[in-house]
Each structure stands twice: as C-alpha cells, then as structure tokens.
Amino acid sequence: MPDSALVEHLRRAVGTEAVRTDATELDARSHDTWPVATVWAKLGRHPHRPDVVVRADSVETVVATVRTASEHRTPVTPWGLGSSVTGQPLPVRGGIVLDLSGLVGEPSLSEIDHTVTAPAGVRGSDLESWLDRRGYTLNHSPQSLARSTVGGWLATRATGQFSSRYGGIEDLVVGYQVVLADGTVAQVEQRPRAAMGPDLRAVFLGSEGTLGIITAVTLKIFSRSPHRSLEAFTLPSVTAGLTVMRTIGQTGLRPALVRFYDAAEARHAVPEGPHGSPVLFLGHEGIGDVARAEHAASAEVVLSAGGVSLGAEPVDAWMARRYDFSSIESRLAEPGGYAETIEVANLWSRLEPMYHDLRRELTPLAEETLGHFSHIYDQGSSLYLILLGRAGDDRTALSRLEEIWARAMKVVVAHHGEVSHHHGGGLARQPWVAQSLGGGHEILRRIKDALDPGHLLNPGKLGLDPE
C-alpha cells in the first residue's frame, strides 16, 4: 500500500493529475525491457513495484518531487522510456518512479555553434526528425532511437551504430542541466573545452539515475553527410576480421559503420548468403571525394586479409531494418522462449580469446549463440552476443537467463574485460559492479555519499547501497 501521507504531499506539491497510484501504472513500472523482467511479467511477478508514479512535465515538478521524497525519506527512481535492457529503472526499494517522458518541448538550435538543446524527456527519434527537417543529424543512432529519451542516453552512457566515427554520447554531449537529490538545479557544460577543474560532465554520464536527475541536454549536431559508401565483405575467419578492424582503426581511418559478424550471426545479417563465413559491413561518409578515398583505403585492408566483396546490397538492407528488435521480442513472447543480448568490450590483445571462451561457455545454454563486433577504438572493440533459446516453461527460461548472465560475466572478468560496453549495470550486472570498477568504485561511493547522502536516488544500483 502506498504511504497515504506521501501521496497527499506529492499531490499538493506537483498537482493531482501528475500523481498515479493505479495498479496498471504501478505494474507497468515494475518491468523495463530487460528479458529477465519480461519473463517475470509472463510469470505474473512484479518483484520491483513502485508505490507511486509521478509524471513530470517541468523542472519544477522534478524539484518538488525530490524535495517531497527527501522529507519522507522515500526512494526516487527516474524513468525515461524504460528501454533499458538491464533493469536500470526498476524501483527495487519501491517508493516513487519519476517518469520523465513528459518533460518535452521545442528544442533550440544554434546553427553557429552546431548544438541543439532539448528537454530530457524528448524521444530520440523525435529530436532526430526535428533536426532532419533542418538539414542536421545527431549522428547518435542507438538501435532504440525511437524507444529512448535523450536524458536516458546520458544516464546510461549510451552509444550508437555510427560510434566508430562520431563517438558515444560522452563525445556528443556539450552540457546538461541536472537536479540533485536536495532539489538543487545545476548546469554542467564546457564551451567548448575548459581546463579549470575536472570535466564534471562525466560525473552523471552512466550514473543510471543514482546521482541526479537530468532535465535538459545540449548535444553536438552535424550537417547531413553529402555522401555515404557502403560495402559488405566475407572474411575467412574471426582472426582475419578482428585484424582488419584493428588495422583500419589504428591507421586513422574513421569508418562510420564497422560491424563484423561471426559466421553464426552472418546467416541472419546476410540471409541470402553465402553462408559459413564471417561478414564485415563497412561504411564511410562525409564529403564525397574524402569518403570515397577513405573507403578505398579501408577496402584495401579488407581485401589484403582475404576479404571478398558482396557489394552494397547487404548493408543497404541492414540500414533499412537496423531498428528492428523483433527477433528478440518474438522469441520472448513464446511460452518458454528466451532471448538475451550481452555487450562487453576488451582490448584488442584479449578480445579474441574472450570471444572464444564466451562462445564455449554460452553455447550449451541456447539454441543459437550469435556474435558481432561493432564499435571500434584504437585500443579495442565491443563484442555483442545474442542468445536465443526455448525451454520447457517460463520458469526454466528464467533460470537459463540467470545462468547465461552468471557465466558470461565470469568469463569477461577472467579476461579483464569491460562487463558492459553500453547497456550498463542495472540489476543484470549488480553482482559484478564493484569488481569491474575496481578502485574506481570507492570513488563512486564517495561521490554518491556526497551528492545523495540519504541514498534515495535509484537505490540498489551500481553497488552503491550503504553496507
């Protein structure tokens, strides 16, 4: 039962309409897009249900909510569009879910500075369409573009499909407004760079709503590229593909698109074949002559590693379906069906052994284990695994998913890799946060203690609860 004094106080502070306590709303906020949470829902379980939902449509509502929560010593868990696939916005201690998806409004554009500022609840695809009509793009293209908010991108340190050229959200953010646990409204930004003190923009990126509530965001924008070259290639082995990706990155070539599928995922990525070989998708963009020259240089690296061109068509087809998530959703909708996506990262020197160990450990747990490498850095790359399976019933499916997580994280830690490249910790990676962050976790704990001494913001995440 919700605390009636809290609910009354919230209604007075933010208005009756913004405060929701109906069962449908509370049930909906007890599941995000994490497959484990989807199976809980199939089993009728709501282990992490809020007591009340506040729908924010202004910064004042956010401030009033956190102040009221502080007086009642009640947790507040921010919620964007719930596209997290790791349980990040699930209110594990109940209390208030603060829905930020109504925090919207007309963005403002600076064509001279090449920036756009938008309220944090704006849906990614709405902002991208708004910019597109004006000849610009964010060049931030997560697969969840139409299912996530701009504030959520910062809170989760998200990255997009063209990050190999443009970077993750940490490279695209100019500044933002954040409401602290005591209701203080702060602005952090750099115009465009500063050397006085640390770069405070980094503090809240990836904080998963545990340090503050982001209410407005200023992002870089780019003029639309006049030219794009796309091409797919088969490669003889995973070793060859990783060598190609590393060479391209370390030579200073900056493809916007690099996706290297192992043979198992290549069957899905290029359904028309040829089957049995890994496949690389490559794309360069920018001013025509420059992009064509870069593409030719990258293609030369691929061909000298035994690559064979399949032309542009497989990549064009992927561009058209790149936001499609139905293979995961339809498998999860089947009785006993389960599916999971796990993204990790490592240095080039450790990536291939980690990949092989992960495949070996996870293959017995699923009908299909698919892998691709898709965000390259000079020092390493991400690895994205998709697992699809069917169990006798949903209970068995749930334990299969739990075992997949446990085995995968153990392998990545053993290879000194990053346990998450972009989906974040949430509940899925809770047991591995402290080990993964090492000495950095103590710094994070102290920042948490200073910014949120009552530990009210999204408790139960990033291993930050008091011992």
Ligand X SMILES: Cc1cc2nc3c(=O)[nH]c(=O)nc-3n(C[C@H](O)[C@H](O)[C@H](O)COP(=O)(O)OP(=O)(O)OC[C@H]3O[C@@H](n4cnc5c(N)ncnc54)[C@H](O)[C@@H]3O)c2cc1C
| Closest to 325 measured CA to CA, from 283, 281, 388, 279 | 388
Give dist(CA 194, CA 202) in Å, integer.
Answer: 13
In angstroms, give the least distance from the CB of 80 to ligand X.
2
User: Would you call 65 helix, strand, or coil by DSSP?
Assistant: helix
Residues in contact with 226: Cβ distance below 8 Å, sequence separation at least 6, in sequence order: 286, 287, 288
Point out which span in 73-81, 186-194, 246-254, 398-406 binds ligand X (CB under 6 A): 73-81
Point out which span in 155-163, 238-246, 248-256, 396-404 binds ligand X (CB under 6 A): 155-163
In angstroms, give the least distance from the CB of 334 to ligand X.
18
In the window 379-438, what residues touch ligand X (CB under 6 A)? 422-423
In angstroms, give the least distance from the CB of 464 to ligand X.
12
Whichever of 222 and 325 has its CB closer to ligand X, that residue is 325
DSSP letter assigned to residue 277: S
User: Would you call 53 helix, strand, or coil by DSSP?
Assistant: strand
* Residue in 53, 54, 118, 120 binding ligand X, rule: CB under 6 A: 120
* Residue in 40, 79, 176, 318 binding ligand X, rule: CB under 6 A: 79
DSSP letter assigned to residue 393: S
What is the per-residue burial (b if ≥16 Cβ within 10 Å, else e) of 134-159? Answer: eebbbbbbbebbebbbbbbbbbbbbb
Give dist(CA 423, CA 245) in Å, integer.
Answer: 22
Strand bridging mode 96-99 / 76-79: parallel
Distances (CA, A) of 284 to 32, 95, 364, 408: 35, 48, 38, 33
Give dist(CA 414, CA 354) in Å, integer.
Answer: 9
Point out which span in 145-153, 223-231, 264-272, 346-354 binds ligand X (CB under 6 A): 145-153
* Residue in 74, 88, 115, 139 binding ligand X, rule: CB under 6 A: 88
Whichever of 143 and 430 has its CB closer to ligand X, that residue is 143
Q: Count of residues for the chain?
A: 467
In the window 25-44, what residues touch ligand X (CB under 6 A)? 32-33
CB atoms within 10 A of CB 196: 4
Point out which span in 38-46, 71-79, 251-259, 262-270 binds ligand X (CB under 6 A): 71-79
| Closest to 215 measured CA to CA, from 179, 181, 173 | 179
Binding mask 303-342 for ligand X (x = CB under 6 A): ----------------------x-----------------
By CB under 6 A, tell whether 167 contacts ligand X. Answer: no
In angstroms, give the least distance from the CB of 149 to ligand X.
4
* Residue in 75, 89, 278, 389 binding ligand X, rule: CB under 6 A: 89
Give dist(CA 343, CA 341) in Å, integer.
Answer: 7
In one letter, which amino acid is 110? S
165 is written with which tokens? 């050229």
By CB under 6 A, tell whether 155 contacts ligand X. Answer: yes
- Count of residues touching ligand X (by CB under 6 A): 36
By CB under 6 A, tell whether 139 contacts ligand X. Answer: no
Whichever of 179 and 301 has its CB closer to ligand X, that residue is 179
Name the residues that contact ligand X, by CB under 6 A: 32-33, 77-85, 88-89, 100, 120, 142-144, 147-149, 151-153, 155-156, 158-159, 208-209, 213-214, 325, 422-423, 458
